[in-house]
Structure 1
Amino acid sequence: MLDAAIRESIRSARDLFEEGAGGAGPSGVPQTAAARAAAAIEHQLALEAGHEIDLDALSELSGRESSDEEPLAKGKAKGKAGAKKAKGKAKKLTKKQLRRSATQEELDARRAVKAEEKALRHKLGRKLTYAEKSTLALHRHHPELKDAWGDLEAKLDIVTPKRAEQPSRLKVTLLPFQQESLYWMRKQELGPNGGGLLAVSMSCSCMGKTIQMISLLVSEPGKPNLVVAPTVAVMQWRNEIAAHSDGMNVLVWHGANRESKASALREYDVVITTYAVLESCFRKQQSGFKRQGKIIKEKSALHTFEWNRIILDEAHNIKERATNTAKATFELQAKYRWCLSGTPLQNRVGELYSLIRFLGGDPFSYYFCKKCPCKSLHWKFTDKRHCDDCGHSPMQHTCFWNNEILTPIQKNGMVGPGKTAFKKLRILLDRIMLRRTKLQRADDLGLPPRTVVVRRDFFSPEEKELYLSLFSDAKRQFSTYLDAGTLLNNYSNIFSLLTRMRQMACHPDLVIRSKNNAAAFAKENLGEATVCRLCNDIAEDAIQAKCRHIFDRECIRQYLDASIEEVPACPVCHLALTIDLEAEPLELAENTSVRQGILGRLNIDAWRSSSKIEALVEELDSLRRQDATTKSIVFSQFVNFLDLIAFRLQRAGFVVCRLEGTMSPQARDATIQHFMKNVHVTVFLVSLKAGGVALNLTEASRVYLMDSWWNPAVSPAMDRIHRLGQHRPVQAIKLVIEDSIESRIVQLQEKKSAMVDATLSTDDSAMGRLTPEDVRAG
């Protein structure tokens, strides 16, 4: 009677289950909470009574793998093969038999694991690493991973570049290496990858990776195509598509008044936008924004439909996988995907993951569960404790990339598992990446020689005293963190200390007169005065132009009177100048949102230069005496340092212009054209992040790097001038202060260069030059 009641209850639960099955679980089986609860109750009643139960009926109702305490889950986890065997014949087990079966199954699984680990340990002749044990665990539920690398090597041939025909719709003639790149890109789009990574380290703008992608766009037409680029490169992409293609409809999707309808974007051949705009659209779609006390979510036009082709220019902008920018690119839909970068690897091997993830590498960018067949592109743990798909803990899930590549290299360097991981990485990169260097294609390029000079100077006695004082404070603070065991918790503070030491090597005022540190160093607080952007002096009668730049009224009046143009340009951003000369004078409180820079916090009359700035003035003055028409570019990471350099150079009689990160794409383009077309403008001051990439400045033949960054990838700043179109010998000068942190940074750059070369180069000897310490440091 009880047995009949149980069976009737199970049938009722099944009916309820079928009626309420509106959605499907991760395994594809519909499920409701009521049905699972009913099944659990009947299961327990049957076990307590010692009756036989119908496992097929219960497993159908469960719809998902149960917890580890329930033996039923063990049988269910066997996958499709087990399900097929059981079909048509219900297994009848008592409570005692069920427990014995589950225990035996668990023991068999453990024995199998131990046997596999023992065999691998015997084969390698050493203890297994955690990553190797995880690999064996993954193989039990993901057999397709057992020979993932061998399958990749066997089934996907490396595309050997050959010369393609010149596209008829391209107005410029491709060089031989560019024809080879076009052939390779066409083949990649026909293959399973549907795109790839074009690592053109020569950074040739109008004849490099940009023109190669334009040749692909015109030879393999289809719309719409999306180009995501740094802000500084947006106008360059638009100008080059217009100059080298015929009839392509291009939209620059940037600014507050950009088109909001996705249907309108579909009408263009190419849509060009920036990483910042892409991230903003994605954030508003995912998290929303606050308006009138309410959270409003706005659908992203870029993520609404499938693009024909997506091109990420300077793709290393998504190197950090956890950032919103990277996530925004991952969610884009496209038929073909491309990454363009002269420096796909800057600091560590793990940075390549984001590029692989964007390109859609399967299984290399997926997360896998070690206890079941669960597989996902996303780390999905809403409650932070259980997988949204399978219910297992985060400890049971691992990223295939981390397990196979990143962890072995980080833990072992170039020894044992690390060496094997490097070989696996080479197998993958050979099939998705085409690398081009100036050295490889020197004959095709015909570029003039380039020399790199490191100029080493020393502190003045006053600068040395200040630097040593700051260095002692930094050492004392570091020792405090070390003794307290809080070193990792204070990473940002340590980085701030190192940054201050770098700034002190450039000019003491960058530390002493900075907004954050002024109270700790300066005895007197001069406040922040309004500075005229024309003369870099205090603006006694300040007025503001429409472009938000501030000038002294008399200075800008004289500038307008001397101008011969019908519509004078702003002397800062070089857009059309609109300013009211009769406007009321500005007070500092009224324009606090406008950047005044460090000059407003200095006593200009008593200001003194630094050893590094004077070294630059000496170099430029010597160059001016040799050839007054030679143009130079001065790079620095610190915008305040550029303020001081501009002030000193203008006093020395140099005409300068500046490229700043706050400029709009139109202002940047106008400033670049002003520098290129005016002979008397001989010095271009550029913020490293604003213009270290995607600039074509072949009018200049000298580059000065005023401060060194931690990774060697900033060297492409030198390539802004050493590219096709350059006919004069190029010289790059690094200014370094001896006995300072800069000397150590130069050594670090050399180590990281070796790591990048070993990872991306096809030459095995490059890997041999890399020490385990270099790999771990990266």
Structure 2
Amino acid sequence: MISIKLRLKLLPFQAEALQWFKSQEDGRFKGGILADEMGMGKTIQMISLLLTDLPAKMHTLVITPTVALLQWKSELFLHTEKNSLSVFIYYGSACSDLTIEDLKKYNVVLTTYSSIESAYRRQHLGFRRNGKYVKKSSLLHSFHWDRIILDEAHHIKEKNTSTAQSAYKLEATFRWGLSGTPLQNRLGELYSLIKFLRIDPYAYYYCYTCSCKSLTWNFSDHSYCDLCGHYRMQHFCFWNKEIMRPIQKFGNFSSGLTAFGKLGWLLHNIMIRRTKIEKAADLGLPPRLIYRRSCYFNDEELDFYESLYSESRTTMQAYVEAGTLLNNYAHIFDLLTKMRQAADHPFLVVFGNRLSNSLSCSDVCGICQGEAEDPIISKCHHVFCREDVKEFIDTCPEPSPVCPKCYIPLTIDLEQPTLAPSEKVTSKAALRNRTSILNRMDIGGWKSSTKIEALLEELSNLRNRNCTIKSIVFSQYCSFLDLIEWRLLRCGFNAVKLDGRMTPEQRASVIDRFSKDPNIAVFLISLKAGGVALNLTEASRVFLMDCWWNPAVEYQAMDRIHRLGQLRPIEVIRIIVENSIESRILQLQVFRKKTVTL
């Protein structure tokens, strides 16, 4: 058994994984994929691997979604002995003046996918400064890391995106990918991870006539190889030739069957995956039950939805008759999105355009939830009534009051001039908060929706049965979360919210508040910003307010609470409007679970 300075005892399957990690790094592939199901402690297992390097000073780069950045730091300090690992967060403009020597001081550097993408883009494409395009070398890409870890590695599943390209260009001795859903849609998504791991020969391009070998497609003139000078038709991608194309062409027969055998051998050698069912005895997790609450439009909502459906159908028929259906894919997707939004709340369609309605109405106070009187704005870009925030500060029992919206220390000038509705703001974060859907609609003309009232009924019944149970509400639309939050707060529910408009510090603050404050019963989370990487075992109920095309995304969200450390039985409630597009999306999800699109 490998001796490590970890404060908790590894479960048997986690100790088994640690042995596998070391054998992989000592072997041919120098890394691999940890694909344990969500909630089985992938972070802890990788931390145990980092501790096996001590006392040697190895340098590890951990790339995570933004929402998990501070959580990784917290886990590193919580589960390791004091001063075992030195940790640095590489995020934001404050890191622009760092040097390689500065990075060498730390065992672990934490950063985000957006940070490496931005750094890589600035290095290769440049950015505008004083009217000119300039390029800046990426510090993260200039450093040769001992180990790179991609948390939620399916973020690079699309191989041609700038995020994936930036990950490929990072240099390291050992490479690891962590994902509970490494394959979400199609077999081709695995190639992104194979390429990041640099698995030889599958990740490379080869030449038929010479020893030319490259990780990228090097044809700057689109005809001849930059390395060997041979014509492009003399080059091939090993993954496509040996696995992808045979499976696409022959399926599970002939050459396709042989390709499946090669794929099986490859995954057996570079990936380890265990499920909660397989390791139920070790995990001891409570059961998880998934329910479906069916509801139906009221008359007003049905009229609105049917008119929107009729308009969308007419538009699509026009495209079909003109033979331009595929040329207008983006427009069709926008029509489908509006129908999905209408199933949540008609206001998402009516007030969805930020440009046409932006700042046309008064701001909403973050304390009283009404139209702000004599509004002023805080440093964290939230608007309050002047008298309300004065009273809040005067009556706050804490020595340093925190913002009642994002729970970071409250900084606000109580003597600042009144914020006019049409006043321009220069900060992007302030602009996002000022253009919230609540500020684009007339609060006095508020109308609820079938889904919001169904959620409110479920939460009220839950509170009546057991007021200690906490719930998480997921939606993919931030504007819908704004509407839900406003309704819940007006009904006496204490709720916090996390979405992509928040900084890492704000996200960490609301997560900490939800975890530690027994009075906060509901956590509203954007599916994209908080549907992965979070550990929220304080909650035992999940409400999914809308359907996503890819069911794997929803299962990622469900498992924010069904994970190690959970003691209560789990219930997941999907709130569905039956007489809408959502029932068709559910049928599509069932089909996608049964098949793999190649």
Shorter chain as denominator, the TM-score bin is: over 0.9
* Residue pairs, 1:309-348, within 5 angstroms: 309-348=147-186
In 1, Cα distance between equivalents of 2:328 and 2:448: 33
In 1, Cα distance between equivalents of 2:243 and 2:35: 20
How far apart are 1:415 and its partner, in Å?
4.7
In 1, Cα distance between equivalents of 2:478 and 2:580: 21
What letter corresponds to residue 565 of structure 1 in structure 2?
E
What letter corresponds to residue 622 of structure 1 in structure 2?
N
What is the aligned partner in structure 2 of residue 569 from structure 1?
402
How far apart are 1:697 and its partner, in Å?
1.0
Asked if 2 retains the 8 angstrom alpha-carbon contact of 1:511 and 1:518, the reply is: no
Mapped pair 1:196 → 2:29: no
How far apart are 1:192 and its partner, in Å?
0.7
How far apart are 1:391 and its partner, in Å?
4.2
Going from structure 1 to structure 2, the CA distance change for 1:529 and 1:314 (only over 3 Å counts) comes to same
Question: For 2:93, what is the secondary structure of its paired residue?
Answer: coil
Paired residue for 2:17, among 152, 171, 181? 181
Mapped pair 1:245 → 2:80: yes
Question: For 1:452, what is the secondary structure of its paired residue?
Answer: strand
What is the aligned partner in structure 2 of residue 624 from structure 1?
463
Mapped pair 1:677 → 2:516: yes
Question: For 1:560, what is the secondary structure of its paired residue?
Answer: helix
Identical-pair percentage? 52
In 2, Cα distance between equivalents of 1:394 and 1:533: 60
Measured against aligned partners, the alpha-carbon deviations of 1:637-660 in whole angstroms (never above 9, x if no partner) come to 000000110111112211111112
How far apart are 1:517 and its partner, in Å?
9.7
Going from structure 1 to structure 2, the CA distance change for 1:745 and 1:295 (only over 3 Å counts) comes to same
* Residue pairs, 1:52-67, within 5 angstroms: none
* Residue pairs, 1:369-380, within 5 angstroms: 369-370=207-208, 373-380=211-218
What letter corresponds to residue 30 of structure 2 in structure 1?
G
What letter corresponds to residue 236 of structure 1 in structure 2?
Q
* Residue pairs, 1:477-488, within 5 angstroms: 477-488=315-326
How far apart are 1:483 and its partner, in Å?
3.0
Question: For 2:45, what is the secondary structure of its paired residue?
Answer: helix
Mapped pair 1:228 → 2:66: no
Question: For 2:567, what is the secondary structure of its paired residue?
Answer: coil
What is the aligned partner in structure 2 of residue 463 from structure 1?
301
What is the aligned partner in structure 1 of residue 454 from structure 2?
615
Question: For 1:220, what is the secondary structure of its paired residue?
Answer: coil
* Residue pairs, 1:232-631, within 5 angstroms: 232-246=67-81, 247=83, 248-258=85-95, 260-370=98-208, 373-515=211-353, 527-592=360-425, 593-595=431-433, 596-631=435-470
Asked if 2 retains the 8 angstrom alpha-carbon contact of 1:511 and 1:517, the reply is: no
Paired residue for 1:703, among 521, 524, 542? 542
How far apart are 1:274 and its partner, in Å?
0.6
In 2, Cα distance between equivalents of 1:588 and 1:371: 68
Mapped pair 1:217 → 2:50: yes
How far apart are 1:487 and its partner, in Å?
2.7
Going from structure 1 to structure 2, the CA distance change for 1:373 and 1:474 (only over 3 Å counts) comes to farther
Mapped pair 1:718 → 2:527: no
Asked if 1 retains the 8 angstrom alpha-carbon contact of 2:376 and 2:384, the reply is: yes
How far apart are 1:741 and its partner, in Å?
1.5
In 2, Cα distance between equivalents of 1:395 and 1:663: 48
What is the aligned partner in structure 2 of residue 152 from structure 1?
none
Question: For 2:109, what is the secondary structure of its paired residue?
Answer: strand
Going from structure 1 to structure 2, the CA distance change for 1:352 and 1:654 (only over 3 Å counts) comes to same
How far apart are 1:471 and its partner, in Å?
1.7
Asked if 2 retains the 8 angstrom alpha-carbon contact of 1:409 and 1:775, the reply is: no
How far apart are 1:665 and its partner, in Å?
1.7
Measured against aligned partners, the alpha-carbon deviations of 1:547-605 in whole angstroms (never above 9, x if no partner) come to 12221212212221221011000111111101111110112333452423111122222
Asked if 2 retains the 8 angstrom alpha-carbon contact of 1:532 and 1:552, the reply is: yes
RMSD over aligned CA atoms reads: 2.0
Q: Which moved more, 1:536-545 or 1:707-716?
A: 536-545
Higher relative contact order (CA 8 A, sep 6+): 2
Question: For 1:527, what is the secondary structure of its paired residue?
Answer: coil
Question: For 1:703, what is the secondary structure of its paired residue?
Answer: strand
Going from structure 1 to structure 2, the CA distance change for 1:738 and 1:561 (only over 3 Å counts) comes to same
In 2, Cα distance between equivalents of 1:265 and 1:661: 28
In 1, Cα distance between equivalents of 2:578 and 2:539: 28
What is the aligned partner in structure 2 of residue 106 from structure 1?
none
Question: For 1:494, what is the secondary structure of its paired residue?
Answer: helix
In 2, Cα distance between equivalents of 1:701 and 1:721: 6
Which protein shows a greater Rg? 1
Paired residue for 1:643, among 482, 493, 499? 482
What is the aligned partner in structure 1 of residue 495 from structure 2?
656
In 2, Cα distance between equivalents of 1:370 and 1:471: 54
What letter corresponds to residue 620 of structure 1 in structure 2?
L
Structure having the larger proportion of residues in helix: 1
In 1, Cα distance between equivalents of 2:478 and 2:458: 21
Mapped pair 1:733 → 2:569: no
In 1, Cα distance between equivalents of 2:139 and 2:233: 37
Measured against aligned partners, the alpha-carbon deviations of 1:184-206 in whole angstroms (never above 9, x if no partner) come to 111111111000000011324xx
Question: For 1:349, what is the secondary structure of its paired residue?
Answer: coil
Measured against aligned partners, the alpha-carbon deviations of 1:655-691 in whole angstroms (never above 9, x if no partner) come to 1111121222222111111111111110000011111
How far apart are 1:470 and its partner, in Å?
1.6
In 2, Cα distance between equivalents of 1:627 and 1:352: 44
In 1, Cα distance between equivalents of 2:232 and 2:480: 46
In 2, Cα distance between equivalents of 1:278 and 1:654: 39
What letter corresponds to residue 317 of structure 1 in structure 2?
H
Aligned length: 586
Question: For 2:48, what is the secondary structure of its paired residue?
Answer: helix
Measured against aligned partners, the alpha-carbon deviations of 1:152-203 in whole angstroms (never above 9, x if no partner) come to xxxxxxxxxxxx44x3411111011110110111111111100000001132
Going from structure 1 to structure 2, the CA distance change for 1:543 and 1:414 (only over 3 Å counts) comes to farther
Going from structure 1 to structure 2, the CA distance change for 1:670 and 1:492 (only over 3 Å counts) comes to same
How far apart are 1:516 and its partner, in Å?
6.4
Going from structure 1 to structure 2, the CA distance change for 1:587 and 1:414 (only over 3 Å counts) comes to farther
Going from structure 1 to structure 2, the CA distance change for 1:395 and 1:597 (only over 3 Å counts) comes to farther
What is the aligned partner in structure 1 of residue 428 from structure 2?
none
Q: Which runs of 5+ in 1 are unaligned?
A: 1-163, 520-524, 755-773
Q: Which moved more, 1:546-555 or 1:471-480?
A: 471-480
How far apart are 1:371 and its partner, in Å?
5.8
Q: Which moved more, 1:266-275 or 1:417-426?
A: 417-426
Q: Which runs of 5+ in 2 are unaligned?
A: 426-430
Question: For 2:312, what is the secondary structure of its paired residue?
Answer: helix
Asked if 2 retains the 8 angstrom alpha-carbon contact of 1:676 and 1:699, the reply is: yes
